[in-house]
């Protein structure tokens, strides 16, 4: 999860020669979107339904989380392209998307790695004196669940990040079309696509509590996104010739 974005950025750079600066701008764009996205979701938590056994409540939650992610991330992406006129080519858009999805992947991967290291250390007796007696039973359950996790299930997180990177690459290109084609509805399309994906993932995960079902849904969206990425493919503009 930590190296996948770097490898993708390296591949895009090798194929299309966009600057790595665009990768880091994409990373900053994702972080900025979450500065507003996460507090908004937190503020809305008391308004949203909590009983997910009711289908209507589950649909409301799925649509809310899908739309909030779509609006905050794609509007931020739109503002990034409005500022970065030089990023409006297919290859450069991919580099921005790789950085955007890469920031998400690295943050999640870093948190998972930190959690695994802490649990592994506690399984060896470290820092246990810092845990209240009432919570040690729950801690033991978490440690045993981590140790019993099959290797192929441990790899699901990395596979899911590969799928998510495909989605972010497409969304980056979709928002870019607002400027290259002069049509604002591409922004609404990107918001809708992002919202649909997140809403379906939230619904499937909360309805069936099955990681494989969720990953299958993400994989389907990733394959569709991959096809659309190549459908939007355009040649890179020639570099301007230097005047003698």
Q: Residue 53 corresponds to which tokens in the numbers above? A: 């056994």
Percent of the chain with pLDDT over 90: 72
User: Which pLDDT belongs to residue 157?
Assistant: 86
User: Is 243 a residue whose pLDDT tops 60?
Assistant: no
Determine the length of the chain.
Answer: 244
For the chain, what is the mean pLDDT? Answer: 92
Q: What are the extents of the domains in the chain?
A: 4-231
pLDDT band per the 50, 70, 90 thresholds, residue 244: very low
pLDDT band per the 50, 70, 90 thresholds, residue 239: low
User: Which pLDDT belongs to residue 202?
Assistant: 96
Assessment of whether the complete model's pTM goes beyond 0.85: yes
Task: Give residue-wise pLDDT tens across range 13-70.
Answer: 999 999 999 999 999 999 999 999 999 999 999 999 999 889 999 999 999 999 999 9
Contact 25, 80 (CB under 8 A): yes
Q: What is the arithmetic mean of pLDDT over 82-92?
A: 93
Out of 93-97, 150-154, 189-193, least confident range = 150-154
Task: Give residue-wise pLDDT tens across range 97-151.
Answer: 999 999 999 999 899 889 888 888 887 878 777 888 778 788 788 888 887 888 7
User: Which pLDDT belongs to residue 212?
Assistant: 94
Task: Give residue-wise pLDDT tens across range 197-237.
Answer: 999 999 999 999 999 999 999 999 999 999 999 999 998 87
């Amino acid at each position: 999860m930590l190296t996948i974005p770097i490898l993708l950025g390296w591949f895009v750079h090798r194929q299309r020669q966009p600057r790595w600066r665009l990768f880091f701008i994409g990373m900053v764009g994702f972080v900025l979107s979450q500065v507003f996205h996460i507090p908004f979701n937190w503020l809305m938590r008391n308004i949203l339904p909590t009983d997910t056994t009711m289908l209507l409540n589950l649909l409301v939650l799925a649509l809310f989380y899908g739309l909030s992610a779509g609006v905050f991330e794609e509007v931020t992406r739109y503002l990034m392209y409005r500022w970065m006129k030089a990023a409006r080519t297919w290859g450069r858009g991919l580099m921005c998307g790789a950085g955007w999805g890469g920031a998400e992947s690295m943050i999640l991967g870093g948190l998972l790695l930190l959690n695994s290291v802490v649990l592994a250390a506690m399984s060896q007796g470290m820092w246990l004196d810092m845990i209240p007696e009432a919570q040690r039973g729950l801690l033991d359950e978490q440690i045993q669940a981590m140790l019993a996790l099959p290797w192929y299930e441990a790899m699901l997180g990395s596979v899911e990040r590969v799928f998510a990177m495909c989605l972010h690459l497409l969304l980056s290109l979709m928002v870019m079309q607002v400027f290259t084609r002069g049509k604002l509805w591409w922004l609404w399309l990107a918001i809708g696509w992002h919202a649909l994906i997140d809403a379906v993932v939230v619904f499937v995960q909360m309805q069936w509590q099955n990681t494989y079902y969720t990953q299958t849904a993400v994989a389907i969206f990733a394959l569709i996104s991959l096809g659309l990425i190549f459908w939007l493919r355009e040649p890179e503009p020639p570099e301007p010739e230097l005047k003698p």
